[in-house]
């Protein structure tokens, strides 16, 4: 079955006849409901306009609430009014056409020239706006009509809807009469389509009244009816319209009529758009501006962005997330109460009818919630009708079965910045009330467990389920299309764990090995590395090798110190990783090997064995890491930043020296002995030099601290292996926080008239302390002055983040909007779909998918050469 498609949607302006033709009721009274609560005939809630109350039937189509789409009515305006949205165009038209004969102020051949130009541009899919602009510009300058010879007077337009001819004000009626005279043949020159619009239609004589379904009234708890903003506005219009008619018939003076006419214009204007500049917005009794037609469409929560582009769905759930390292990365733990509510359709055939019957008869978790009969009726399965429904079950019915283990669901965390923000997971129904996910999939979602919530959607159709499984599964997104490297991998404890396991030569007895590899499927143990006194010992590297597939690879680990000459396998830091035929020969496994974003091993397995094997590796790796870290134990506390007295003394010395140097610099500056750097003022030079000195002092303090902390310190292990934190964080905790900055400069704001940051200092003090240098460490604690400066710097960071999210969000929206219609065609070209414009002859110049590319390269030549060489039995070279 090929679904029908809408070929197109044409936009036109409604003519008065059209408005009357589609109307089912002429609305004349401003009243809505009578005293009994029934809608008044010919009122704004006329029953012919549709139904909103359940139980009633529509007087026009007979449909019930929900079935009847509603029908338009109309109001006959006592006098024409300008449509605000077109006021500017009307002004341009009036100035471009003759006041007498209505013809365009151009000779026919010139007009045809422009029309041809516009048509040609349209045919080519180009923007014809500039030609139209030129037409209006040229015609505005014409003083005498080339057709009838009448002299033209300029018409001044005053926002929002007023026109003046010299001093004389034009009424909408005058305007309409002039527009009527413009012939159809001239319209294309103004970019108007005579088939879609007549200029006089831009001056309203009849107002369509939207159906009640568009403006439903709500009944408050008190039983009172509260009308929609649109209804309020329409009431105003009808009221003034009536008064205008009465006055006109009664022969009221012209002045009063004009006032009323203007009032009617105001109401119609605000009915269409309540944010027009130049007039006060119409307000609700409470003082809130009314939300009228334009406001309904506009903006983020408007019809277009809020309701049409973004849709609400059923079969979804949302709750907090928490980690579960024991489930696979492509699984999600779903709380039982959620699983009992969400359903998957189960199509009953004669082959599975017994299974379906069983589901209906069940009273516990995987049971059927609803039975849908072929006529579309949904029946809830209850204790009372269970037996009956099971009996009446027949092929062709659909039952809605509760979510079970193995169902595929989509899992999402906002903000959905890239496609990895929605991935397909397999369900694992678990107790408690949070969604559970393997911490290795946190990076693509950018999730943590400090209270984050995530959404879950259940695809209903078989097609959707198939697509989810094949295209959206977590393992299909291990490689990021952004840079062609893994985005899923070990984080935090996974890295610390493997680091502890594989670093150096740790030995484990058989019992220990078995406890570590318990969650992993290992068929047989390798030969123990050592046998001492009859006891077998395996190394941590051997244990890690058990989860590796057959790969051969060499690279420098994260902990690499960047020595001038690499000693390779003899590296004293054990930082040179060699994996030969699936055996970790040397080196330590850390962030570079298995981490998210870096993970060279993950990348290699992905390319050699594909997504499923990689998924298994990541699962095994996380299991192994957690076991390993539990075996050694790993903790981190305040005492981990303890440094000996000696170190503290050294740090203080370094800082004192730096402060002295700063004083010297300031002295030199005061005496005028400071040589400015090229292109900088002396003040700037001083600042830069001071920053340099203080920055160096902090680095030195950090070095001293880390020397005393040693490599076995938990914080150091986390920092060097890339598990969490950096050496800088550590420095700030143990040694010295360093210079605080606002806008990249030392803190200089404060009491400007005395030129000091705080009253604790002398005016004009440029010293380290007075400009926000914090010499304490977090552990020592900050002095009040330091604390204040630290808060200043911290606040800047917060503001920065807040501003950045909104800015980058808008940038992303614009990018998506500009690029969303680009598609790679079967011939490898990239085309814009709406216009058919060719954007690239070959995607990315070589047609290579960035996801599959090797960190941007079309083909990983070195790897292939190594592969070929190793198959030839030759020496393998180092990986870069």
Partner 1 sequence: MSEEKVEGEIEENASGENMDYDKIFEEFPLPMTVKEEIKNELVKINASEDVARKVVKKCYEVYLRNLMEPGEAAGIVAAQSIGEPGTQMTMRTFHYAGVAEIDVTLGLPRLIEILDVRKNPSTPMMTIRLTEEYAQDRSKAREVANRIEATYVLDIADIATDIRRMRILVSPDEKAMERKGLTLEDLKKKIEKGLKNVEVEESDGKIVVQVTEPSYKVLMDTLDKLKKLVLAGIKEIRRVIIRKEEGEYVLYTEGSNLKKVMKVKGVDASRTITNNIYEIYEVLGIEAARNAIIQEAINTLEEQGLEVNVRHIMLVADVMTADGELRQIGRHGVAGEKQSILARAAFEMTVNNLLDAAVRGDVDKLKGITENIIVGQPIKLGTGDVELVLKMGKL
CB of 462 to partner 1, least distance (A): 13
β partners of residue 207? 75
CB of 189 to partner 1, least distance (A): 13
Closest CA to 603 of 870, 863, 325, 844: 863
Q: Is 357 in contact with 392 (CB distance < 8 Å)?
A: no
Is residue 309 a contact point for partner 1 (CB under 8 A)?
yes
Q: What is the enclosing helix (H) or strand (E) of 743?
A: none
CB of 445 to partner 1, least distance (A): 12
Question: Binding residue for partner 1 (CB under 8 A) from 543, 719, 862, 878?
Answer: 862
CB of 863 to partner 1, least distance (A): 9
Determine the 3-state secondary structure of 391 from DSSP: helix
Packing angle between helix 645-670 and helix 682-709, nearest 10 degrees? Answer: 170
CB of 264 to partner 1, least distance (A): 21
Residues numbered 200-239 forming contacts with partner 1, rule: CB under 8 A: none
Burial letters 509-532, b for 16+ CB under 10 A, else e:
eeeebeebbeebeeeeeeebeeee
Quick one: which segment of 42-50, 171-179, 342-350, 819-827 binds partner 1 (CB under 8 A)?
A: 819-827
Closest CA to 74 of 170, 221, 204, 193: 204
| Region for residue 534 given its phi and psi (left: phi exceeds 0; alpha: psi -120 to 50; beta: otherwise) | left
The smaller minimum CB distance to partner 1, of residues 100 and 867, is found at 867
The smaller minimum CB distance to partner 1, of residues 227 and 558, is found at 558
Residue 535 token pair: 């006891």
Is residue 273 a contact point for partner 1 (CB under 8 A)?
yes
Is residue 821 a contact point for partner 1 (CB under 8 A)?
yes
Quick one: which segment of 35-43, 83-91, 614-622, 702-710 binds partner 1 (CB under 8 A)?
A: 83-91
Residues numbered 693-752 forming contacts with partner 1, rule: CB under 8 A: 743-744
The smaller minimum CB distance to partner 1, of residues 752 and 834, is found at 834
Is residue 418 a contact point for partner 1 (CB under 8 A)?
yes
**Omega before residue 743 within 30° of 0, cis:** no
CB of 89 to partner 1, least distance (A): 7
Is residue 861 a contact point for partner 1 (CB under 8 A)?
yes
CB of 856 to partner 1, least distance (A): 5
Is residue 278 a contact point for partner 1 (CB under 8 A)?
no
CA–CA separation, 734 vs 642, rounded Å? 7
Is residue 361 a contact point for partner 1 (CB under 8 A)?
no
Determine the 3-state secondary structure of 345 from DSSP: strand
The number of C-alpha atoms within 13 Å of 438 and in the hemisphere containing its C-beta is 29
Residues numbered 116-135 forming contacts with partner 1, rule: CB under 8 A: 125-127
CA–CA separation, 860 vs 857, rounded Å? 6
Which positions ≥6 away from 643 have C-beta within 8 Å?
Answer: 705, 708, 709, 734, 735
Residue 417 token pair: 């910045």
Quick one: which segment of 36-44, 293-301, 326-334, 345-353 binds partner 1 (CB under 8 A)?
A: 293-301
Question: Binding residue for partner 1 (CB under 8 A) from 538, 778, 843, 879?
Answer: 843
CB of 368 to partner 1, least distance (A): 27
Q: Is 628 in contact with 540 (CB distance < 8 Å)?
A: yes
CA–CA separation, 758 vs 531, rounded Å? 69
Question: Binding residue for partner 1 (CB under 8 A) from 113, 159, 195, 568?
Answer: 195
Is residue 848 a contact point for partner 1 (CB under 8 A)?
yes
| Three-class secondary structure assignment of 142-190 | CCECCCCCCECCCEEEECCCEEEECCEEECHHHHHHHHHCCCHHHHHHH
DSSP assignment of 59-82 equals TTT-PBTTT-----EEEEEEEEEE
Residues numbered 602-621 forming contacts with partner 1, rule: CB under 8 A: none
Determine the 3-state secondary structure of 584 from DSSP: strand
Question: Binding residue for partner 1 (CB under 8 A) from 15, 41, 85, 245?
Answer: 85
Question: Binding residue for partner 1 (CB under 8 A) from 414, 681, 726, 833?
Answer: 833
The smaller minimum CB distance to partner 1, of residues 148 and 815, is found at 815
Residues numbered 569-608 forming contacts with partner 1, rule: CB under 8 A: none
Is residue 825 a contact point for partner 1 (CB under 8 A)?
yes
Residues numbered 386-415 forming contacts with partner 1, rule: CB under 8 A: 415
Is residue 839 a contact point for partner 1 (CB under 8 A)?
yes
The smaller minimum CB distance to partner 1, of residues 612 and 825, is found at 825
- Cα–Cα distances in Å, from 397 out to 166, 315, 370, 378, 717? 76, 20, 11, 10, 60
Question: Binding residue for partner 1 (CB under 8 A) from 101, 117, 263, 824?
Answer: 824
Q: Is 325 in contact with 441 (CB distance < 8 Å)?
A: no
Residue 115 token pair: 């029309």
CB of 498 to partner 1, least distance (A): 23
The smaller minimum CB distance to partner 1, of residues 337 and 818, is found at 818
The smaller minimum CB distance to partner 1, of residues 1 and 220, is found at 1
The smaller minimum CB distance to partner 1, of residues 728 and 864, is found at 864
Q: Is 436 in contact with 416 (CB distance < 8 Å)?
A: no
Q: What is the enclosing helix (H) or strand (E) of 746?
A: strand 745-746
Q: Is 757 in contact with 750 (CB distance < 8 Å)?
A: yes
Quick one: which segment of 212-220, 305-313, 343-351, 615-623 binds partner 1 (CB under 8 A)?
A: 305-313
Q: Is 74 in contact with 19 (CB distance < 8 Å)?
A: yes
Query: Residue 175 burial by CB count (10 A; 0-12/13-18/19+): exposed, middle or buried?
Result: buried
The smaller minimum CB distance to partner 1, of residues 514 and 861, is found at 861
- Cα–Cα distances in Å, from 245 out to 43, 102, 121, 447, 728? 17, 30, 48, 65, 80
Residues numbered 484-543 forming contacts with partner 1, rule: CB under 8 A: 484-485
Number of residues that bind partner 1 (CB under 8 A): 108
CB of 46 to partner 1, least distance (A): 27
The smaller minimum CB distance to partner 1, of residues 320 and 869, is found at 869
Is residue 197 a contact point for partner 1 (CB under 8 A)?
yes
CB of 163 to partner 1, least distance (A): 18
CB of 14 to partner 1, least distance (A): 9
The number of C-alpha atoms within 13 Å of 155 and in the hemisphere containing its C-beta is 26
The smaller minimum CB distance to partner 1, of residues 261 and 555, is found at 555
Residues numbered 785-814 forming contacts with partner 1, rule: CB under 8 A: 800, 803-805, 807-809, 811-812, 814
Question: Binding residue for partner 1 (CB under 8 A) from 119, 134, 646, 849?
Answer: 849
The smaller minimum CB distance to partner 1, of residues 47 and 722, is found at 722
Q: Is 84 in contact with 160 (CB distance < 8 Å)?
A: yes
CB of 335 to partner 1, least distance (A): 30
CB of 476 to partner 1, least distance (A): 13
Is residue 680 a contact point for partner 1 (CB under 8 A)?
yes
CB of 835 to partner 1, least distance (A): 5
Residues numbered 1-20 forming contacts with partner 1, rule: CB under 8 A: 1-3, 5-13
CA–CA separation, 717 vs 619, rounded Å? 23
Q: 561: which DSSP letter?
A: -
CB of 357 to partner 1, least distance (A): 26
CB of 706 to partner 1, least distance (A): 23
């Amino acid at each position: 079955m090929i679904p029908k498609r809408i070929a197109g949607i044409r936009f036109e302006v409604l003519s008065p006849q059209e408005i009357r033709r589609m109307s089912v009721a002429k609305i004349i009274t401003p009243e809505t409901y009578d005293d009994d609560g029934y809608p008044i005939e010919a009122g704004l809630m006329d029953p012919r306009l549709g139904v909103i109350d359940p139980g009633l039937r529509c007087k026009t189509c007979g449909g019930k609430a929900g079935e009847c789409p509603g029908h338009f009515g109309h109001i006959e305006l006592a006098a024409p009014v300008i449509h605000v949205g077109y006021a500017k165009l009307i002004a341009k038209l009036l100035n471009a056409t003759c006041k007498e004969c209505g013809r365009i102020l151009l000779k026919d051949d010139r007009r045809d020239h422009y029309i041809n130009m516009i048509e040609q541009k349209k045919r080519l899919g180009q923007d014809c706006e500039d030609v139209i602009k030129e037409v209006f510009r040229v015609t505005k300058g014409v003083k005498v009509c080339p057709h009838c010879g009448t002299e033209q007077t300029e018409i001044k337009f005053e926002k929002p809807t007023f026109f003046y001819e010299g001093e004389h004000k034009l009424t909408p009626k005058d305007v309409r009469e002039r527009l009527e005279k413009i012939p159809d043949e001239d319209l294309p020159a103004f970019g108007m389509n005579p088939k879609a619009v007549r200029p006089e239609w831009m001056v309203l004589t009849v107002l369509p009244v939207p159906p009640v379904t568009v403006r439903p009234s709500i009944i408050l708890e008190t039983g009172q009816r509260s009308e929609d903003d649109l209804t309020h506005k329409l009431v105003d219009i009808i009221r003034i319209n009536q008064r205008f008619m009465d006055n006109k018939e009664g022969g009221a003076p012209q002045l009063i009529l004009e006032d009323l006419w203007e009032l009617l214009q105001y109401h119609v204007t605000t009915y269409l758009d309540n944010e027009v500049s130049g007039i006060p917005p119409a307000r609700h009794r409470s003082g809130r501006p009314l939300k009228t037609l334009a406001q309904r469409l506009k903006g983020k929560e408007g019809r277009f962005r809020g309701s049409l582009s973004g849709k609400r769905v059923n079969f979804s759930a949302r709750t907090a997330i928490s980690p579960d390292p024991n489930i696979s990365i492509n699984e999600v733990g779903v709380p039982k109460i959620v699983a009992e509510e969400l359903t998957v359709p189960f199509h009953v055939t004669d082959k599975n009818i017994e299974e379906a019957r069983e589901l209906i008869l069940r009273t516990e978790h995987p049971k059927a919630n609803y039975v849908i009969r072929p006529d579309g009726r949904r029946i809830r399965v209850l204790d009372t009708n269970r037996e009956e429904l099971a009996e009446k079950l027949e092929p062709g019915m659909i039952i809605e079965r509760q979510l079970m283990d193995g169902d595929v669901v989509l899992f999402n965390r906002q903000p959905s910045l890239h496609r990895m923000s929605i991935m397909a997971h397999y369900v694992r129904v678990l107790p408690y009330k949070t969604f559970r996910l393997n911490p290795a999939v946190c990076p693509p979602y950018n999730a943590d467990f400090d209270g984050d919530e995530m959404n879950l959607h259940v695809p209903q159709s078989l097609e959707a389920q198939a697509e989810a499984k094949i295209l959206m599964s977590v393992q299909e997104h291990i490689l990021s299309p952004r840079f062609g490297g893994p985005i899923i991998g070990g984080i935090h404890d996974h890295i610390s764990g493997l680091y502890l396991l594989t670093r150096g030569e740790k030995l484990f007895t058989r019992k220990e090995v078995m406890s570590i590899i318990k969650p992993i499927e290992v068929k047989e143990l390798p030969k123990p590395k050592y046998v001492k006194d009859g006891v077998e010992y395996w190394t941590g590297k051997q244990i890690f090798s058990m989860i590796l597939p057959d790969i051969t690879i060499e690279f420098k680990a994260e902990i690499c110190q960047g020595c001038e000459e690499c000693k390779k396998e003899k590296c004293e830091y054990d930082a040179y990783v060699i994996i030969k035929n699936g055996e970790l020969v040397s080196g330590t496994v850390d962030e570079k090997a298995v981490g998210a974003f870096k993970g060279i091993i993950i990348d290699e397995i992905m390319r050699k064995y594909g997504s499923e094997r990689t998924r298994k590796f990541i699962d095994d790796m996380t299991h192994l890491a957690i076991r390993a870290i539990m075996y050694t134990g790993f903790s981190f506390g305040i005492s981990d930043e303890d440094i000996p007295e000696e170190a503290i003394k050294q740090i203080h010395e370094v800082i004192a020296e730096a402060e002295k140097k700063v004083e010297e610099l300031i002295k030199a500056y005061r005496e005028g002995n400071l040589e400015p750097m090229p292109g900088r003022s002396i003040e700037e030079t001083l600042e830069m030099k001071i920053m340099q000195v203080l920055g160096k002092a902090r680095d030195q303090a950090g070095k001293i601290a880390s020397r005393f902390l040693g490599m076995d310190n938990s914080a150091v292990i986390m920092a060097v292996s890339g598990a969490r934190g950096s050496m800088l964080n550590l420095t700030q905790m143990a040694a010295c926080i360093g210079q605080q900055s606002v806008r990249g400069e030392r803190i200089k704001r404060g009491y400007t008239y005395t030129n000091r940051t705080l009253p604790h200092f002398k005016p004009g003090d440029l010293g380290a302390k007075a400009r926000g240098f914090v010499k304490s460490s977090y552990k020592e604690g900050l002095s009040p002055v330091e604390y204040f400066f630290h808060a200043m710097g911290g606040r800047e960071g917060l503001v920065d983040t807040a501003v950045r999210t909104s800015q980058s969000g808008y940038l992303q929206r614009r990018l998506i909007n500009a690029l969303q219609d680009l598609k790679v065609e079967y011939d490898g070209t990239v085309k814009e779909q709406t216009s058919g414009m060719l954007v690239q002859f070959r995607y990315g110049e070589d047609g290579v998918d960035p996801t599959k590319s090797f960190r941007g390269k079309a083909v990983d030549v070195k790897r292939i050469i190594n592969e070929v060489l190793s198959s030839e039995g030759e020496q393998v070279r180092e990986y870069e």
